[in-house]
């Protein structure tokens, strides 16, 4: 179970240098991750999830730059580390499975070489130790040893994704960041891979940040959820709390956008309007043009993220407590990972 604070992000802002003016992409992000916590990061496309993942490892690409903030990793300030010290943290302590990581494998290199290369950057192992580690990693992610001699094009997408996750786990990181690791995969493979990661996480107690568009999946897989909108975290709470009591209207809309087992023929509600455009954000709360609860205050003042009883929220007019009968889990709509296969099939939802 989650323990002490491991990663603390305070007031982190990231901008993109543009010809006319710089565009703020992450705005005053405050986030705490505990040791052993599995955190889901959700939000519409373009809200800044991948940028946040890269910012944590200080691996943003120009024209992106960190405009302000502080990030503490196990008590050390990540912004004060020189490149050598930062490289020791990367992979060894914090590993990132980047979005579209399937494309990250070298197509003309056998899997064994790619796994071993990932280890050699940080470890001086004998050949026998490297091979033993490769075998262990493959076992962890459920792949046969023979694939060590395969090229990526000889494997299915699910097998390649397992290899990428094995590479990330090679040095037993304390934090595994996975940016949409299973989005491109069928729901059966997705369930298998995430189920395996959950088992490993229980065994080794590393922390996980899982980026996904799939809120039901995140609620099932993660201890806690951070919801992002237009470069800001608008709500963060334990999954079991959020599913009972989404207090931000955007979170509520996201939850309503997914089918529930007890509403098979009901039209799906969701979030009205279009996702925010970072280059032309409205004043006040960036969500106000789409929010059915917006008032004049919302159009003028941007709400701060305020933490109360471990529930962080940025909204002037938060929702009240949602009755238990609307709870997706209570109504069997939360869709535990294994049941999702059947659920999706029943709903006829294309993934």
- Residue ranges that bind Mg ion, judged by CB under 5 A: 49-50, 99
Q: Does 146 bind ligand ATP (CB under 6 A)?
A: no
Shortest reach from residue 278's CB to ligand ATP, in Å: 5
Q: Does 193 bind ligand ATP (CB under 6 A)?
A: no
**How many residues interact with ligand ATP (rule CB under 6 A)?**
14
Sign of the CA dihedral running 181, 187, 192, 195: positive
Shortest reach from residue 226's CB to ligand SF4, in Å: 16
Q: Does 21 bind ligand ATP (CB under 6 A)?
A: no
Among 13, 40, 42, 48, binds ligand ATP (CB under 6 A): 48
Shortest reach from residue 125's CB to ligand ATP, in Å: 35
Pairing mode, if any, of strands 38-42 and 207-211?
A: parallel
Shortest reach from residue 164's CB to ligand ATP, in Å: 17
Q: Does 9 bind ligand ATP (CB under 6 A)?
A: no
Among 2, 46, 157, 282, binds ligand ATP (CB under 6 A): 46
Choice between 209 and 285, CB closer to ligand SF4: 285
Choice between 46 and 157, CB closer to ligand ATP: 46
Q: Give me the residues that bind ligand SF4 (CB under 6 A), please.
A: 248-249, 285, 287-288, 291, 293-294, 298, 303, 315-317
Among 6, 13, 50, 174, binds ligand ATP (CB under 6 A): 50
Shortest reach from residue 326's CB to Mg ion, in Å: 30
Among 7, 12, 25, 105, binds ligand ATP (CB under 6 A): 25
Choice between 231 and 303, CB closer to ligand SF4: 303
**Which residues, including other chains, have CB under 8 Å from residue 105's CB and lie 6 or more apart?**
111, 114, 152, 160, 163, 164
Look at residue 249 and give the partner it binds from ligand ATP, ligand SF4, Mg ion, none, a contact being a CB closer than 5 to 8 Å depending on partner kind. Answer: ligand SF4
Binding site for ligand ATP (CB under 6 A): 16, 25, 45-51, 61, 63-64, 99, 278
């Amino acid at each position: 179970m989650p323990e002490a604070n491991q990663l603390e992000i305070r007031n982190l802002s990231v901008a993109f240098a543009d010809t006319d003016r710089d565009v703020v992409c992450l705005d005053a992000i405050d986030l705490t991750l505990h040791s052993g916590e599995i955190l889901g990061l959700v939000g519409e496309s373009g809200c800044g999830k991948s940028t946040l993942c890269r910012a944590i490892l200080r691996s943003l690409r120009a024209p992106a730059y960190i405009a302000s903030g502080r990030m503490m990793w196990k008590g050390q300030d990540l912004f004060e580390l020189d490149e050598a010290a930062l490289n020791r943290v990367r992979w060894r302590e914090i590993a990132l499975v980047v979005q579209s990581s399937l494309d990250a494998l070298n197509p003309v290199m056998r899997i064994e070489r790619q796994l071993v290369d990932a280890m050699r950057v940080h470890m001086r192992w004998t050949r026998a130790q490297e091979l033993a580690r490769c075998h262990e990693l493959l076992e962890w992610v459920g792949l046969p040893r023979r694939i060590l001699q395969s090229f990526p094009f000889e494997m299915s997408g699910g097998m390649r994704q397992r290899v990428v996750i094995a590479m990330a786990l090679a040095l037993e990181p304390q934090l595994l960041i996975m940016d949409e690791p299973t989005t491109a995969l069928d729901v059966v493979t997705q369930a298998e891979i995430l189920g395996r990661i959950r088992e490993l996480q229980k065994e080794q107690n590393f922390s996980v940040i899982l980026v996904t568009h799939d809120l039901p999946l995140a609620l099932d897989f993660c201890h806690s959820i951070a919801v992002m909108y237009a470069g800001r975290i608008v709500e963060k709470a334990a999954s079991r709390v959020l599913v009972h009591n989404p207090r931000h209207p955007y979170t509520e809309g996201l939850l309503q956008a997914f089918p529930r087992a007890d509403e098979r023929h009901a039209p799906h509600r969701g979030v009205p309007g279009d996702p925010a455009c970072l280059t032309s954000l409205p004043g006040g709360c960036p969500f106000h043009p789409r929010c059915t609860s917006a008032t004049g205050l919302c159009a003028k003042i941007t709400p701060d993220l305020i933490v109360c009883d471990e529930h962080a929220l940025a909204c002037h007019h938060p929702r009240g407590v949602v009755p238990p009968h609307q709870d997706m889990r209570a109504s069997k709509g939360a869709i535990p990972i294994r049941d999702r296969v059947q659920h999706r099939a029943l709903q006829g939802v294309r993934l």
